[in-house]
Chains A and B, each alone.
Chain A
């Protein structure tokens, strides 16, 4: 076996490094899904009547819908009756400081290297830690409160700001938008709510760390971000999950509403358990993410680094309704072993002079399948719309696949739309060039892959860029094309 093959072998045999499970006592609903479960979740969270009605409507619609089959992924049929739809860590009394947080929970964060104190002290990031669907610790709330920024768990928002939630919930992703969004709408357990008032520039990156913890728990997060006129916020979402045998379903919904002159930047690093090297286990990540630039000059930017999950089905989208609004999508998706990713974006141009930019980098290794699927839709009214899309794929090994499905629908002649895509492996000449200069093959590959993804990594906030680069280096250690 040549050295290259050896390195490749080492890489493809690599196991998930963030795998462990912490025993937290969970307050669980019985297995299965029916109207009673929906009512149970709603009651558990002391929700108002209108929200229960909303959930039930979504549930009834969901029952009539069929699971989508068009993504370029395959997985065993999901038994929706074999899932626990609600699990909460034991309710603690109101927390005043971090000391009151469950020590075991703190330990979990420390293992991940994101201890709350450190976050608080060093980075100035307010952390809304979500463990198994219920927020248990929120920091920096006071600082944010002074500016009128609301950053809290979804259930708190329902309690404290019902009017805002009622106004915006489902305004971007309707309860019955698609199969998984409907499921989420019916059974979502918790999530984050973020509201930036008019003219406020949020002084820090808002961050939520998601963790999936109790076994057999599907996690159904719901995030709602509203930026009022002239507001700015950069929002971070990141996740790692413990190793597990059974497949876990994750069907989250993220809604972002951007008013006139406002800007929202949403960044994700996703590193859920991808399954072992034989493709056993791993998270099913079926996420609906969508934002609307409702007012003029609004801007919405999605950045994602996807390295985990067994199956990913995710298309962060921008509806560019306001004139001169801008949508951006930057993505690095890495798949290894038997991972399957079908991800991309939708840019829907409705307003005049709207601009969008798509940069997608796919890296596949092992026996994985990596697909880019995107839509650029320029409607008849969207005068002078502009889109630039670039999707590049890098293949490591001869058993993986890279696929591109870009849909481009243009209904206005003033639009300028460009799309380009390339697929290749790392050039032998590039590696040779590095070798010649004393850089070994492994380091050369890390260098080239980092260069390949640089355009996207550069878009991440500083705090995240470090983690993302580490993740990429880790995932791609020893991979030779």
Chain B
């Protein structure tokens, strides 16, 4: 590969050309046509700049332009380099991807009847008209460039006893990394599953992970979906997660963001069956000079659905937090209850939060509300603790832990919750 692209558009074009060369036998298949079509769309619209309303607060394309000039491909990693990676040690199956490539030796899959886990089965993972969030250019780009992923199907009346943990490791010790993982989770009628995604980054070069997770829950199904971002200081990531819910299905999703240079989470939920319930929670602690951006959209398309949303942010010095929560209640989606809250604490006068809780409602018999607060730590609460002999740093830590606890306690999986709480402790200590 001697060719080099200087702009991000050229780099992507070369990446796509590379991918097409590697298709061999699968060239000309339906999946290939889908990729070609998706890439043509990306080329047509271009990556979103800050003029794009959805990316108003995110200079992602500019940063990508800077970081990926002349990029030709991911570096080769020796097994020794990968071996150093510390896994979070979660219960259940561990499916590990290193720089977007499945790593069998690090992975461990627990077999269970009724739970099918297929890896690198792109034909299943590439859509047949599923993408609920096709408007996002990065989701389209993933469709064009996706190189691997997991397809998980939980069949009817099956309760998956073991959690499935998908662990993405970005290792940039040897050079810049570009990865496009794409996964799919299907929960059939009356089935239940717990899926966790963890993103871990290390190394001194920059990276860009453009991931997609498509989930769907059939009638009376229950899905617990957790996403934990432990991205490194040079990591950029866009994640598009979608969920389509049928009648009486329940979704519990918790999105934790602990770092990264620029991390954007797009969470789109479509309530397509009556009496469905969606619970969305999120916690974001961007690191210094980092930006954590959470965009959520809950689309109430039918009557009698509930959605509850709570996103909390703790933003330290030189960090930026972004929250945009959309709630759509379509015409006819009567008896909808939709609640949304966004609370932020700014710890330094160099911290920034941009928030936009947005309601768009076309039905009258609904109860919708959103609340949003931004402030610093409550001086009276601090005083209360200090009056009882707790020194200021400990008192601050205690209050911030309590603030974050509202979200962390929504994680039902004990091991994961403990792990997330431990990372919070480390972050607050520094």
What is the interface of chain A, defined by CB distance below 8 A to chain B?
70, 380, 383, 393, 395-425, 481
Contact = CB atoms under 8 A, between A and B. Distances in A.
Given A398-B331, A410-B353, A421-B369, 12 more contacts: A380-B350, A395-B361, A404-B370, A408-B354, A409-B353, A411-B352, A413-B348, A420-B371, A421-B357, A421-B371, A424-B366, A424-B367
B346 A423 contact: no
Interface string B365-378: 11111111111100
Given A406-B358, A410-B346, A416-B374, A423 B353 contact: no
B423 to A, nearest CB: 23
Contacts of A403: 358-361
Contact of B368 (A396, A417, A423): A423
B321 to A, nearest CB: 9
Given A407-B354, A425-B366, A398 B332 contact: yes
Contacts of A399: 331
A398 B366 CA distance: 10
A409 B359 contact: no
Nearest to A394: B364
Contacts of B331: 398-399
Contact of B372 (A398, A413, A419, A425): A419
24 contacts: A393-B359, A395-B361, A398-B331, A404-B358, A404-B370, A406-B356, A406-B357, A408-B354, A408-B374, A409-B354, A410-B346, A411-B351, A412-B346, A413-B348, A413-B351, A414-B376, A417-B374, A418-B373, A419-B372, A421-B370, A421-B371, A423-B366, A423-B369, A481-B365
B235 to A, nearest CB: 25
A402 B354 contact: no
Nearest to B348: A413
Residue of B331, B351, B375 contacting most chain A CB atoms (<10 Å):
B375
Given A419-B372, A424-B368, A413 B346 contact: yes
Contact of A397 (B351, B353, B358, B364): B364
A167 to B, nearest CB: 35
B359 A423 contact: yes
B380 interface: no
Nearest to A373: B358
Contacts of B355: 407-410
Given A410-B353, A414-B376, A401 B368 contact: no
A428 to B, nearest CB: 9
B364 A400 contact: yes
B357 A419 contact: yes
B353 A408 contact: yes
Given A416-B375, A417-B375, A402 B361 contact: yes
Nearest to A427: B367
Interface in B308-360: 331-332, 334, 344, 346-360
Nearest to A399: B331
B44 interface: no
A415 B363 CA distance: 35
Contacts of B364: 395-398, 400, 425, 481
A402 B370 contact: no
Given A413-B347, A414-B376, A407 B356 contact: yes
Given A406-B357, A420-B370, A415 B375 contact: yes
Nearest to B57: A409
A423 B363 CA distance: 10
A374 to B, nearest CB: 10
A405 B356 contact: yes
Nearest to A416: B375
Contact of B365 (A398, A410, A421): A398
Given A417-B374, A418-B373, A423 B356 contact: no
A88 to B, nearest CB: 41
A405 B327 CA distance: 11
B375 to A, nearest CB: 4
A449 to B, nearest CB: 14
Nearest to B316: A413
A423 B361 contact: yes
Contacts of A419: 357, 370-373
Contacts of A420: 369-372
B383 interface: no
A424 B53 CA distance: 27
A403 B326 CA distance: 10
Contacts of A413: 346-349, 351, 376
B362 interface: yes
A396 B53 CA distance: 30
B349 A414 contact: yes
Given A411-B352, A412-B346, A424-B366, A401 B361 contact: yes
Interface string B44-59: 0000000001000000
B352 A409 contact: yes
A199 B240 CA distance: 59
Nearest to B362: A401
Contacts of A481: 364-365
B358 A422 contact: no
Contacts of B372: 406, 408, 417-420
A413 B317 CA distance: 10
A380 B352 CA distance: 9
Contacts of B374: 408, 410, 415-418
B361 A408 contact: no
A419 B347 CA distance: 20
B347 to A, nearest CB: 6
A202 to B, nearest CB: 37
Contacts of B359: 393, 402-404, 421, 423
A346 B368 CA distance: 24
Nearest to B329: A423
A411 B364 CA distance: 36
Nearest to B352: A411
Contacts of A412: 346, 349
Contacts of A397: 364
A251 B365 CA distance: 36
Interface in B66-107: none
Q: 7 closest A-B pairs (Cβ-Cβ)?
A: A413-B346, A395-B364, A419-B372, A417-B374, A423-B368, A416-B375, A422-B369
Contacts of A395: 361, 363-364, 366
Interface string B103-141: 000000000000000000000000000000000000000
Nearest to A395: B364
Given A421-B369, A422-B368, A405 B358 contact: yes
A424 B351 CA distance: 35
Contacts of B361: 393, 395, 401-403, 423
A40 B67 CA distance: 55
